[in-house]
Amino acid sequence: MVGVVSVIGAGSVNPTTNVGRLVMTLKPLDQRRDGVVKVIERLKQKIATVPGMTVYFQPVQDVQISTQSSRSQYQYALTATDAAEVSQWSQKLVAEMRRDPIFRDVSSEAQDGGLRAALDINRQRAGQLGVSLQGVTDTLNDAFAQRQISTIYGQANQYRVVLEALPMYQRDPSILDKLYLPGANGAQVPLSAVATLVRTTAPLAISHQAQFPSVSLSFNLAPGEALGDAVEAVKAIETRIGMPGSIVGIYSGDAAEFARSLAGQPWLILAAIITIYIVLGVLYESYIHPITILSTLPSAGVGAILALMLCGQDLSVIGLIGIILLMGIVKKNAIMMIDFALEAERHQGMSSYDAIVQACLLRFRPIMMTTLAALFGALPLAIESGTGAELRFPLGISIIGGLLLSQLLTLYTTPVIYLALDRLNRRIERAVPEPGPSGPPIAGATEGMQ
């Protein structure tokens, strides 16, 4: 460990005064044996026996999406119009999430155990003694609010005079019994004569989201669990406990970005496939042969997902970027074969079978060279061990897995699909009659028929 910085007290980092934050800087990865996860596990074991505090550890990522400080990596906020209702259902949801083995370090950012002292003023009694509410407010302001009552001007400086009770009288609410209020005819009335001190509990802070009260829940994932499963588990728990529809749950930070990526993922892939089909259709002047090229994409996606599963990686946003990259890399195998086969058919008069066989023989070496070049280019992303390598692991693994499986399958499946679709195309052309010549009949031919 290189250094530790502590932040104590309420501010932009800590929401309340009973929260502290430690920022620990580890040595570079090549100078230590364990990763950040193992370091956190060791620290958890050492502080487990410390009474009176609850400690949460959160590794700092290279790419920070969330701007909200929380105790765990993923955040889920509950919002409603009633603050008490939000607090009640957030406690129920936290209790159920802690029982689920998918989640770890589940906590609520709402702190409802704060002590509050409230003054219940007897207005009728205050009126009888000639005490006004403004007098009560001014007295409390003078004693505890650091009220400025004057300014002393010197030759070079000015000094503000602040009125307040001595620090020894600000530590215990029972000191309120010693305060006196101005009454009728200049009499001094004790505060206890017109007000009663009521001790209750209240939240230390109330968060708001879009002007509505909200409670943020934070959680980590158990080892080997995926964020998508956690999102589905939260939905199932809300249904099981009967959470009303007046409470709205919103993910923030990494969880929100993951949910948005899942929502737009099918449309993104569909738009990419349609774009590729249109471009290839214009290039080859055919409706059928672009499908042959697109048939190589499923094997690449399956290979990428299998590689991520074998290496214990989740299908994250970075892994999805790798799959999108595969769509542009993998289809070049089929393009190199189909382009040569169509050229041989249209200009050399070869049959479909002979053209695709010759394309496979002549294009095998370029296909292998381009595939190996892309594969070795992605290899450093999958095996590197430097700082921030965890972020790039899914990208390299998905590219390598997709290239390996697609290379193994498409060399055999692409010629078969090409011949099958070519026969289908010829069958459709024979079934559709060609339009006959249009226009008025020839005069000579008409007279001859008569």
Question: Does position 314 have pLDDT exceeding 60, yes or no?
Answer: yes
Amino acid in position 191: L
Kindly state whether residues 338 and 407 are assigned to the same domain. Answer: yes
- Euclidean distance between CA atoms 396 and 400, whole angstroms: 6
Instruction: Return the pLDDT at 68.
Output: 60
% of the chain exceeding 90 in pLDDT: 0
If asked whether residues 37 and 129 sit together in one domain, one would say no
Q: Taking Cα atoms as reference points, which of 394, 410, 379, 374 lies closest to residue 298? A: 410
* Dihedral angle computed from the Cα positions of residues 9, 14, 16 and 19, in that order, rounded to the nearest 10 degrees: -70
- Is 376 domain-assigned? yes
Mean pLDDT, to the nearest integer, of 61-67?
59
Least confident of 72-76, 148-152, 218-222, 305-309: 72-76
Q: Do 51 and 82 belong to one domain?
A: no
Q: What is the pLDDT of residue 61?
A: 65
Q: Is 284 found in the same domain as 160?
A: no
Domain count, the chain: 4
Tell me the mean pLDDT in the region 137-163: 87
- d(CA 241, CA 234) in angstroms, rounded, equals 11
Calculate mean pLDDT across residues 328-334.
80
Last residue of a domain, one of 29, 55, 81: 55
Q: 279 and 348: one domain?
A: yes
Range of the domain at 213: 61-112+203-252
Q: State whether 226 and 348 are in the same domain.
A: no
Q: Give the pLDDT of residue 195.
A: 87
Residue 437 lies in a domain: no
Average pLDDT value for residue range 137-144: 86
* Shared-domain flag, residues 125 and 72: no
Give the tokens for residue 450.
């008569």
Percent of the chain with pLDDT over 70: 87
388 and 292 fall within a common domain: yes
CATH code assigned at 223: 3.30.70.1440
Whole-angstrom distance, CA of residue 326 vs CA of residue 321 = 9
As a whole number, mean pLDDT of residues 327-335 equals 80
Residue 221 pLDDT > 80: yes
Residue 382: the pLDDT is: 82
**Has residue 450 got a pLDDT over 50?**
no
| pLDDT of residue 134 exceeding 60 | yes
143 near 179, Cβ under 8 Å?
yes
The answer to whether residue 446 sits within a structural domain is: no
Query: Within this chain, do residues 369 and 427 fall inside the same structural domain, yes or no?
Result: yes
Same domain, residue pair 195 and 305: no
Which CATH number is 127's domain given?
Answer: 3.30.2090.10
pLDDT the model gives residue 38: 81
281 neighbors 263 (Cβ within 8 angstroms): no
- Asked if residue 209 and residue 172 are part of one domain, the reply reads no
Least confident residue range of 86-90, 160-164, 272-276, 387-391: 387-391
What's the pLDDT at 265? Answer: 72
pLDDT band at residue 448 using 50, 70 and 90 as cut-offs: very low
Same domain? 132 vs 273: no
| Torsion angle, alpha carbons of 7, 9, 13, 18, to 10 | 110
Distance, CA of 249 to chain centre? 14
Residue 343: the pLDDT is 82
Q: Is the pLDDT of residue 130 over 80?
A: yes
Return d(Cα 140, Cα 174) in angstroms, integer: 13
The reply to whether 444 falls in a domain is no
Predicted confidence (pLDDT) per residue in 403-445, tens digit: 888 888 888 888 888 888 878 877 776 776 655 555 555 444 4
The per-residue pLDDT for 62 is: 60
Q: Which residues pair with 115 in a beta bridge?
A: 201
- Does position 67 have pLDDT exceeding 60, yes or no? no
Q: pLDDT tens digits for 184-206?
A: 887 888 888 888 888 887 776 67
Query: Which one, of 144, 146, 125, 123, lies nearest residue 134 by Cα?
Result: 123
